[in-house]
Amino acid sequence: MEKQINVLIADHQRNTRRGLRAWLEFSPFINQIWEARDGEAAIKVISEVKPDLVILEVQLPLIGGLCVTRWIKQNWPDIIVIILTLYPHYEDEAFAAGADHFLVKGRDDDCIQDEILSFFHFGIRDKTDSPDADSN
């Protein structure tokens, strides 16, 4: 059996956290899931449990998702960071901050779980989710 992963979902919208949790809980690859509603809480959870994977919204209260991403990569570069946001224009900034993958909410929501797990297991850095993907 493949490694089971521990995941932190950090998003200010409770429905987003709960929905993503519900999707991920169906996966046999997920061991444990934590939730955080702001950047400060995310940093606290990460410091305590060192998850394998962190899914972050860019616009987190208190400490933004890009700042949290930089902090993660400075302290634990092996933690995978996936930005999941409504704001596609943050893609370049997210990668510059150290994000491993970037997904836009509302685009093929049914595929988000598969993309997250595929990225974690296979290291796929696919920029086809980007609105500018066709121009590359």
For the chain, domains (ranges, CATH) are 5-127 (3.40.50.2300)
CB atoms within 10 A of CB 33: 19
- Asked if residue 34 lies in contact with residue 51, where contact means CB atoms within 8 angstroms, the answer is yes
CB atoms within 10 A of CB 22: 11
- Of the candidates 119, 117, 7, 102, the one whose C-alpha atom is nearest the C-alpha of residue 53 is 7
- Residue 98 CA to residue 125 CA, distance in Å, equals 12
Listed as ranges, residues in the chain with pLDDT below 50 are 1, 124-136
- Of the candidates 41, 121, 108, the one whose C-alpha atom is nearest the C-alpha of residue 82 is 121
- Of the candidates 29, 26, 25, the one whose C-alpha atom is nearest the C-alpha of residue 121 is 29
- Asked if residue 119 lies in contact with residue 125, where contact means CB atoms within 8 angstroms, the answer is yes
What would the two tokens of residue 70 be? 């930089």
- Asked if residue 129 lies in contact with residue 99, where contact means CB atoms within 8 angstroms, the answer is no
How far CA 92 is from CA of 9, 31, 70, 88, 127, in Å, comes to 21, 31, 14, 9, 11
Half-sphere exposure of residue 106: CA atoms within 13 angstroms, side-chain side = 6
Q: Residue 105, SS3?
A: coil
Tens-digit pLDDT profile for residues 97-106: 999 999 998 7
